Amino acid sequence: MQPLQSLFKRPQTPSPPRDVSPFPVPERHAVLGTPLEPPFPAGIETAVFGLGCFWGAERLFWELDGVYTTATGYAGGSADHPTYREVCGGRTGHAEAVLVAFDPQRIAYGELLRRFWEAHDPTQGDRQGNDRGSQYRSAVLWTSEAQRRDAEASRDAYGRALADAGRGPITTQLDRAGTFFYAEAEHQQYLHKDPGGYCNLRGTGVSCALPSAAESPAAQVDGLRPLAHSEDEWRERLTREEYKVLRKAGTERPFSGEYVKTSDDGTYRCRACGNALFDSAAKFDSRTGWPSFTKTVTPDAVELRTDRKLGMARTEARCGRCHSHLGHVFDDGPRADGGQRWCMNSVALDLDPR
């Protein structure tokens, strides 16, 4: 699926030529305390995304564990060092964009892509909601060939998911990242400075799977399985009990699961997709009737959501790869190991012996 280039009309009136920025860039991130501009520490990678108004888009990324710094700015246009007024006036061809500097050892580029696709509507061409103009277009601007491959694969996969949900084709611009021009100081971390400020992020409600990682040869070696593209496919793949827990957020009866008392050495994986979740070294007997762990193998192995189904606020744990329900997290675990109890359903897990 290719971007609809006809939707991205570049303006003909240029902005005044500039060799340097007409305004200073803040030295530090107002939330993370890290530098906004390079050089960044060794191992830090960068990515650039456009999701419409960059105020809410920047907050989406700075909240992720593993992101080193973020900044708002302008990308993909034809003029150097534009101003906000020039970009919003359609004089430069730039998109409002977010620079994301991240540690790939803590958060994968694929996770950034998933958050990108799910947080906005990538089918709207030169607008997001009521924000209209080419500066609000959806864009993934890659900084390496590996990012390009992942971005294209994720676009194609999400396009299929949107089509299944009755949505139109993706119009997101995919291109090599050129120079990222930083926005004015008042636009950096805007929603931290004004928590009640304008945010126009609206997703489609369609989940984004990442089959590009799942279907690679390396992924198969790592125990990952291809992701299903629909709930019907999940229903065919899983048993009735597995589907009830993993896809419908059910709970197995206490002391009924196969891993409640298991002490075998190995890695516990998501039964739906094979994603590595917990190491057996982090398992302990909580005497609650469900297998319990003190921590995950990596911060992005799971995603956390607020669950209010029982009339109280609980922290739900889902697989960070296929978003299947695993269990809940409580703060009554062993204090010496951080105090958390990851209370999981056995039917949501597979033990991969070492």
- What is the maximum span of the chain, computed from C-alpha positions, in angstroms? 71
Active site residues: 53
Q: Can you list the alpha helix ranges (DSSP code H) found in the chain?
A: 54-62, 84-88, 109-119, 145-164, 190-193, 211-214, 217-221, 231-237, 240-246
d(C-alpha 28, C-alpha 84), whole Å: 20
Q: Which two tokens stand for residue 205?
A: 């409600």
Which amino acid is it at 237? R
> Rounded to whole angstroms, how far apart are CA atoms 71 and 307?
31
Q: In what order do the strands lie in the sheet with 45-51?
A: 173-176, 138-142, 45-51, 95-102, 67-75, 181-182
Residue 354 CA to residue 350 CA, distance in Å, equals: 13
Nearest-5° angle of CA 207, CA 268, CA 266?
Answer: 155
